[in-house]
């Protein structure tokens, strides 16, 4: 598809003035062929494969940045879920050793984050997967770039509540091992997790993927906010069309970069994830888009409708621009990573229950929220279960990244550094549901699973 001169000028303006960038280029790597009965050989093969392709990714991505003038903010790698390749080496010691090898390979190649250290446990857990979950706190505490995940349910299977119950306890342990609990930002629990998601912490190279695939995550909240602000008097239908056209242009730029980068790496191009991914930088905020709609502060009545409108327009614009839209593809609302969302929390406009409502219409779910460090693990698991239930019943991807911050109480400010941002600690409902979740087991698949 040809690009017009006007489109090129518009895209250039977005890059220069509205913070348009490629948020991530994520190379998926199959590591099943690295498996060996000798653990040292296994580690060596993985290290060599990551460093070989990681160095190529960083080098080729920088060349693309210079050629097109579009920043590629993060260069990342996602691996085959580690539980699928370590069945015969499933001890806590070996999982931790492998995590350190993977981390050192990422550091060697200047990869920002490396994902896939996790498991698909939507119907149950093997002994190896239980061991893996138990060592997540030490894995995260002893590495800097390794990201962990579990997929605890899908619409055709229901939710593995035993895995959800383990997660609350695991997050408290992880928080106590890392500064301000920030290690919890490198763990995410999903339902309906896509195998081609380029965004961390949940990226993994799924079993249905080829040996290699290059997935692109675009951004552009600043560009969308700009066009909304320039059209203060248009009606809702026109507003949707304006956003759709803008995302169309952003997606075309993302696919252009992704296809060329994949070609230069001699790997298969995967997908463009059209999620609007915010950062703590001024103006790069999904919350500020919502406020530009006419909502006084994100979280006010009408905010869920506004996010639904934004989500729908983003998906339509992206789908028109590319036949390879995938991953999460929606609107992210990570509180600490979005300065506007954090501000809404500080002004008491946004509470956990409202974010849960957002989950019904946007991508991901309760993401990057800070809660008091003394929150019971059972309560954390219950919050997660609420979020995952939204995804199961609505047949959509949802997830949770929750950070219990040791020593902090509601209203205290906490900073996680860099792109992880800062946020006030949010209050948590004090009433318990621990007796309910202690029942364990699995939530059955909903009736909608029978539609197939």
Output DSSP code: residue 209. Answer: S
Q: Is 243 left (phi over 0), alpha (psi -120 to 50) or beta?
A: alpha
Nearest to 191 by CA among 443, 378, 370: 443
Q: What integer pLDDT is reported at residue 219 of this predicted model?
A: 79
Q: Which helix (H) or strand (E) holds 117?
A: strand 113-120
- Looking only at the bridges linking them, the beta strands covering 442-443 and 158-160 are antiparallel
303-321 and 236-265 helices, crossing angle to 10°: 50
Distance from C-alpha of 411 to C-alpha of 103, rounded to nearest angstrom? 34
Reported pTM: 0.92
Cα 259 to the center of its chain, rounded Å: 22
| Stretch(es) of the chain classified as CATH 3.20.70.20 | 23-191, 218-451
Report, as ranges of residue numbers, the positions in the chain whose pLDDT lies below 70.
1-19, 449-452
CATH number, domain 23-191: 3.20.70.20
Q: What local confidence, expressed as pLDDT, does residue 329 receive?
A: 82
Pick the CATH number of 218-451 from 3.40.630.10, 3.20.70.20, 3.90.1150.10, 3.40.50.2000: 3.20.70.20
DSSP-assigned letter for residue 426? P
The confidence score (pLDDT) of residue 15 equals 56
> How big is the chain, counted in residues?
452
CA–CA distance, 58 with 54 (Å, rounded to integer): 6
Residue 10's pLDDT is: 60
75: phi then psi, degrees, rounded to nearest 5 = -110, 120
What confidence score (pLDDT) does residue 287 get?
92
User: Per-residue pLDDT tens for 346-375?
Assistant: 999 999 999 999 988 887 778 999 999 999
End-to-end CA distance of the chain: 35
């Amino acid at each position: 598809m040809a690009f017009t001169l006007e489109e090129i000028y518009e895209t250039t303006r977005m890059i220069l003035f509205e913070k348009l960038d490629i948020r991530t280029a994520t190379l998926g790597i199959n590591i099943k062929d690295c498996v060996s009965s000798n653990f040292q050989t296994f580690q060596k093969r993985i290290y060599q494969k990551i460093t070989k392709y990681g160095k190529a990714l960083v080098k080729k991505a920088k060349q693309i940045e210079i050629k097109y003038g579009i920043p590629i903010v993060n260069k990342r790698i996602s691996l085959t879920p580690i539980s699928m390749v370590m069945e015969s080496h499933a001890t806590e010691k070996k999982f931790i050793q492998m995590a350190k090898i993977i981390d050192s390979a990422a550091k060697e190649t200047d990869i920002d984050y490396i994902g896939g250290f996790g498991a698909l446990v939507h119907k149950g857990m093997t002994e190896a997967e239980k061991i893996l979950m138990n060592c997540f706190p030490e894995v995260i505490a002893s590495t800097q770039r390794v990201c962990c995940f579990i997929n605890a349910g899908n619409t055709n299977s229901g939710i593995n509540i035993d895995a959800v119950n383990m997660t609350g306890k695991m997050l408290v342990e992880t928080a106590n091992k890392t500064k301000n609990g920030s290690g919890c930002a490198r763990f995410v629990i999903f339902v309906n997790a896509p195998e081609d998601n380029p965004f961390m912490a949940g990226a993994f190279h799924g079993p249905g993927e080829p040996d290699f695939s290059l997935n692109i995550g675009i951004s552009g909240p600043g560009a969308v906010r700009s066009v909304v602000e320039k059209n203060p008097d248009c009606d809702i239908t026109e507003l949707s069309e304006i956003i759709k056209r803008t995302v169309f242009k952003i997606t075309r730029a993302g696919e252009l970069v992704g296809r060329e980068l994949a070609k230069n790496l001699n790997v298969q191009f995967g997908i463009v994830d059209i999620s609007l991914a915010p950062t703590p930088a001024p103006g790069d905020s999904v919350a500020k888009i919502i406020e530009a709609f006419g909502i006084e502060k994100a979280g006010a009545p009408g905010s869920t409708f506004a996010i639904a409108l934004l989500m729908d327009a983003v998906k339509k614009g992206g789908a028109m621009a590319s036949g390879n839209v995938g991953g999460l593809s929606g609107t992210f609302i990570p509180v600490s990573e979005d300065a506007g969302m954090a501000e809404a929390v500080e002004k008491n406009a946004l509470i956990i229950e409202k974010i849960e409502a957002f989950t019904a219409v946007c991508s991901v779910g309760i993401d990057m929220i800070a809660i008091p460090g003394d929150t019971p693990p059972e309560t954390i698991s219950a919050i997660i279960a609420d979020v995952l239930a939204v995804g199961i019943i609505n047949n959509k991807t949802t997830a949770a990244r929750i950070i219990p911050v040791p020593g902090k109480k509601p209203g205290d400010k906490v900073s996680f550094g860099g792109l992880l941002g800062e946020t006030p600690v949010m209050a948590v409902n004090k009433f318990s549901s621990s007796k309910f979740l202690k029942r364990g087991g699995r939530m059955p698949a909903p009736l909608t699973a029978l539609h197939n």
